[in-house]
């Protein structure tokens, strides 16, 4: 019998930048991780064209093991600061510390690039997320309108959060 506890350990994954061949696995991972948004967002979170669009502006860091992609986070450098988004962990691996490991990898990426701050946006309907990010040192800096091209079932806006890397 396989040791599934070890397979889900954040220590058993290798973090690397995503490659073009990772587009379809990223689509599956992100959509599975973001199923929790279905009560307030219509449809899938992203498709292959969307992932390619993100890759044209920034990059994804992915956690991988022998079973495939386990987690991802999108990172983009903009005006000397970092922006991260689409932190996604395979549902079977959520609660193992992998999300935090991906956040550490993203912040390390930004530090190496010389960024002094990191920004992110949380959809207002995802009420547990601001406290998760506050626990990691992020603070709320304001709000922003929700993406007008994303069909929603309930009114949503973004909560903008930042962290100093200095």
pLDDT in tens, 63-94: 999 899 999 999 999 888 999 999 999 999 99
pTM of the model: 0.91
Asked whether residue 62 is domain-assigned, the answer is yes
**pLDDT of 147:** 87
Does residue 3 sit within a domain? Answer: no
Full residue range of the structural domain in which residue 138 is found: 13-164
In a domain, 59, yes or no: yes
* CATH for 89: 3.40.630.30
pLDDT < 70 stretches in the chain: 1-11
Which residue bears the tokens 């800096």? 141
Total count of domains within the chain: 1
Specify if 125 maps to a domain: yes
- Which tokens in the block code for residue 164? 């100093």
Distance CA 65, CA 84 (A): 22
| Residues 92, 43: Cα–Cα separation, whole Å | 21
CA dist., res. 89 & res. 74, Å (int) = 12
HEC profile of 74-110? EEEEECCEEEEEEEEECHHHCCCCHHHHHHHHHHHHH
| DSSP three-state, residue 14 | strand
Q: What is the pLDDT of residue 28?
A: 97
Beta-carbon contacts of 119 under 8 Å, excluding residues fewer than 6 positions away, are: 81, 82, 83, 84, 141, 160, 161, 162
Q: What is the pLDDT of residue 166?
A: 81
Q: What is the pLDDT of residue 7?
A: 47
pLDDT of residue 10: 60
Residue 6 lies in a domain: no
Q: HSE, CB side, 13 Å, CA atoms: give it for residue 39.
A: 6
In a domain, 119, yes or no: yes
Q: CA 85 to CA 30: how far, in whole Å?
A: 11
């Amino acid at each position: 019998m396989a040791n599934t506890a070890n397979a889900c350990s954040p220590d058993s994954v290798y973090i690397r930048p995503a490659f073009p061949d990772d587009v379809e696995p990223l689509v599956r991972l992100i959509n599975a991780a973001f199923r929790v948004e279905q009560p307030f967002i219509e449809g899938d979170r992203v498709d292959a064209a969307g992932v390619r669009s993100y890759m044209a502006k920034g990059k994804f860091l992915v956690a991988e093991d022998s079973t495939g992609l386990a987690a991802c986070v999108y990172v983009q450098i903009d005006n000397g600061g970092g922006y991260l988004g689409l932190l996604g962990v395979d549902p079977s691996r959520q609660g193992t510390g992998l999300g935090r490991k991906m956040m550490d990898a993203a912040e390390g990426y930004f530090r190496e690039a010389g960024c002094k701050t990191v920004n992110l946006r949380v959809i207002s309907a995802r009420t547990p997320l601001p406290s998760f990010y506050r626990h990691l040192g992020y603070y709320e800096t304001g709000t922003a309108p929700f993406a007008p091209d994303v069909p929603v079932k309930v009114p949503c806006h973004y909560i903008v959060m930042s962290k100093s890397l200095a």
